[in-house]
Chain A
Amino acid sequence: MIAKGGDVKRMMAELYGRATGYGKGKGGSMHVADLDLGMLGANGIVGAGIPIATGAALALQYLETGNVAVVFFGDAASNRGTFHEAVNLGAVWDLPIVYVCENNLYGVSTCQREHMKIRDIADRAAAYGIAGDVVDGNDVEAVHEAGLVAVQRARSGGDPPCSSARPGATRATSSATPAPTAIRPSTRSGSARTPSCAEPRPSSVGGWPASRRSIS
């Protein structure tokens, strides 16, 4: 939102519940939006923005704006029905949208291999007949390039011939970002805890443990 030109002062005012905030203090930190920038709001319900963005993409297509919708979510959100239903709808309607998953390998304390069997969220794109790409979230230039390609493809309304899936303007991207080496939720005694699934984070893209990689 800041990158799109959002007013940081109004954002901070909203975080503090002030009348001068983006939502006049009625939304709070989870519900900052700037409709004038085309930013339709963060969401308090994980995964709920994915169908909303899909509908916005329909409006962009329907009104022949030539614009593209982009929605961001995490790896855990991609387990929700909202993700699967929305991506399927976006695919069958050939909507101009890019679904961007920022995979940090954890849903709060639950590591990715505990919450899904696949390594790359982008693999899920194949189930809906759309392109799915993986990019290293630590490589800002690669992310930028992948974003340009994805938006261009969504805007042009079709997949390049290299895609084996049915043509569709929708594109899924999965970006990997560093996982925490340990999650340390506070406990009543004040002691720290490490989730049982926590393993040393490998340096490779995607950060998936070698043992898991051999299975997949």
Chain B
Amino acid sequence: MTTQAIKTTTMTYGQAVCDGMAVEMRRDPTIYVAGEDVGMFGGGLGVTLGLIDEFGPKRVRNTPLSETAIVGHAVGAAMAGLRPIAEIMFDDFLGIVLDELGNQAAKARYMFGGKVAIPMVLRASCGAGIRAAAQHSQSLEAWCAHVPGLKTVAPSTPVDAKGLIIAAVRDDNPVVFLEHKTLLNIQGEVPEGEYIVPIGKAEVKRQGGDVTIVAWSAMVAQALAAAEALAAEGVSAEVIDLRTIVPFDKEAVLESVAKTNRLVIVHEAVRTAGFGAEVAAVVAGEGLDLLDAPIVRVTAPDTPVPFSPVLEDAYLPNADKIKAAVLSLL
């Protein structure tokens, strides 16, 4: 058996997103980036740094502080032949653009009888952990998941960040791409050139037989740390990174639960009506016979994200909480 060597480069998660966008922009001149400070400044969190040097101001477009226009114009540009990558700094600003995203981008293809595609990507940072307080720290993937017509991805590693941004740009439907702030600077080996991670495919990050832990975004690392700690106590945990929220890879989860018969779902978003509730409902509905124990969710509590470092640390799910949840099932 021969395997083709894939050349890789060490880069951060943020750089991997940028690299993926650049790879696509070289391929297709109709792709452009628009957002606040995305030019020389590199965007609110530095992800687009350097793009303007290669592609110039026509394709890397600074916008006014004007999220409604950023997302709204992207819908029109996508309808008229371009492939916009729009950036809003924080997913907390989804509230400002919910009409443009949820009523316009998500519905146009359906309402117009399939006659139009909306090949746009909306990038936003998400998540807590940097003391950014209640309006800059949320994980709002469930808001996006609740609108048919949107795809939502939330990668947990640099390699997936690159593979998924390329898949998102190539998709003919609107894709919300959530980049967790605390992941932007983590490093990893990333394949050079075109590298695609298909939207809608989860990944088994660790094999195990006693319990399935489903997580995404920043919680994947916590789930893996919990699995490591559990292994020391003789418990074998399987960890699944959903990577894509919608479309949800239920087959991957059901297949794992068929093996482990126990399910713990971990997300950083608040508990009530979080996407974990959907995962639980699907497994309960289609895999009740597979379960030997109740489904458990490990989530943030139903409060705004606190600013105080002590409170924020207490608020966030972590490996210890996940481990405790697993042990409660055995």
List residues of chain A with CB under 8 Å of any chain B CB: 21-28, 31, 33, 35, 40-41, 43-45, 48, 50-60, 62-63, 69, 81-82, 85-86, 88-89, 92-93
Of A35, A55, A81, the residue contacting B76 (CB under 8 A) is A55
- Pairwise interchain contact B79-A56, C-beta atoms closer than 8 A: yes
B111 to chain A, nearest CB (A): 4
- Pairwise interchain contact B68-A81, C-beta atoms closer than 8 A: yes
- Pairwise interchain contact B110-A85, C-beta atoms closer than 8 A: no
- Pairwise interchain contact B76-A51, C-beta atoms closer than 8 A: yes
CA distance A91 to B321 in the complex (A): 52
- Pairwise interchain contact A62-B82, C-beta atoms closer than 8 A: yes
Chain A residues near B61: list those with CB within 8 A: 93
Chain B residues near A52: list those with CB within 8 A: 72-73, 75-76, 79, 104
- Pairwise interchain contact A55-B77, C-beta atoms closer than 8 A: yes
Could you jot down 17 A-B contacts, CB within 8 Å?
Answer: A23-B115, A26-B110, A27-B110, A27-B111, A28-B111, A33-B112, A35-B79, A40-B79, A51-B71, A54-B73, A55-B75, A55-B78, A55-B79, A55-B84, A56-B79, A57-B76, A85-B69
For residue B116, CB closer than 8 A to chain A, the reply is yes
- Pairwise interchain contact A22-B103, C-beta atoms closer than 8 A: no
Whether A55 contacts B74 in the complex (CB less than 8 A), given A21-B113, A45-B103, comes out as yes
Q: Could you count the A-B residue pairs with CB atoms below 8 Å apart for me: how many are there?
A: 128
Known: A40-B116, A82-B69. 5 other contacts (CB 8 A): A33-B112, A33-B115, A55-B84, A85-B66, A85-B72
Contact digits for B101-122, partner A, Cβ 8 Å, 1 yes 0 no: 0011000101111111000000
Of A28, A44, A53, the residue contacting B103 (CB under 8 A) is A44
CA distance A22 to B116 in the complex (A): 12
For residue B58, CB closer than 8 A to chain A, the reply is yes
A161 to chain B, nearest CB (A): 26
For residue B95, CB closer than 8 A to chain A, the reply is no
- Pairwise interchain contact A48-B77, C-beta atoms closer than 8 A: no
For residue B187, CB closer than 8 A to chain A, the reply is no
For residue B100, CB closer than 8 A to chain A, the reply is yes
List residues of chain B with CB under 8 Å of any chain A CB: 30, 32, 58, 61, 63-64, 66, 68-69, 71-82, 84, 99-100, 103-104, 108, 110-116
CA distance A62 to B82 in the complex (A): 8
Pick from A24, A28, A40, A55 the residue with the most CB of B within 10 Å: A55
Chain A residues near B71: list those with CB within 8 A: 51
A29 to chain B, nearest CB (A): 11
Pick from A21, A24, A58 the residue with the most CB of B within 10 Å: A58
- Pairwise interchain contact B111-A31, C-beta atoms closer than 8 A: yes
- Pairwise interchain contact A82-B68, C-beta atoms closer than 8 A: yes
Whether A27 contacts B76 in the complex (CB less than 8 A), given A52-B104, A62-B32, A88-B69, comes out as no
- Pairwise interchain contact B113-A22, C-beta atoms closer than 8 A: yes
B39 to chain A, nearest CB (A): 13
CA distance A26 to B58 in the complex (A): 36
- Pairwise interchain contact A24-B66, C-beta atoms closer than 8 A: no
CA distance A27 to B112 in the complex (A): 6
CA distance A57 to B69 in the complex (A): 13
- Pairwise interchain contact B72-A41, C-beta atoms closer than 8 A: no
Chain B residues near A45: list those with CB within 8 A: 99, 103-104
Pick from B30, B74, B104 the residue with the most CB of A within 10 Å: B104
Chain A residues near B108: list those with CB within 8 A: 41
Chain A residues near B114: list those with CB within 8 A: 24
Chain A residues near B78: list those with CB within 8 A: 55
- Pairwise interchain contact A56-B64, C-beta atoms closer than 8 A: no
B221 to chain A, nearest CB (A): 37
A38 to chain B, nearest CB (A): 8
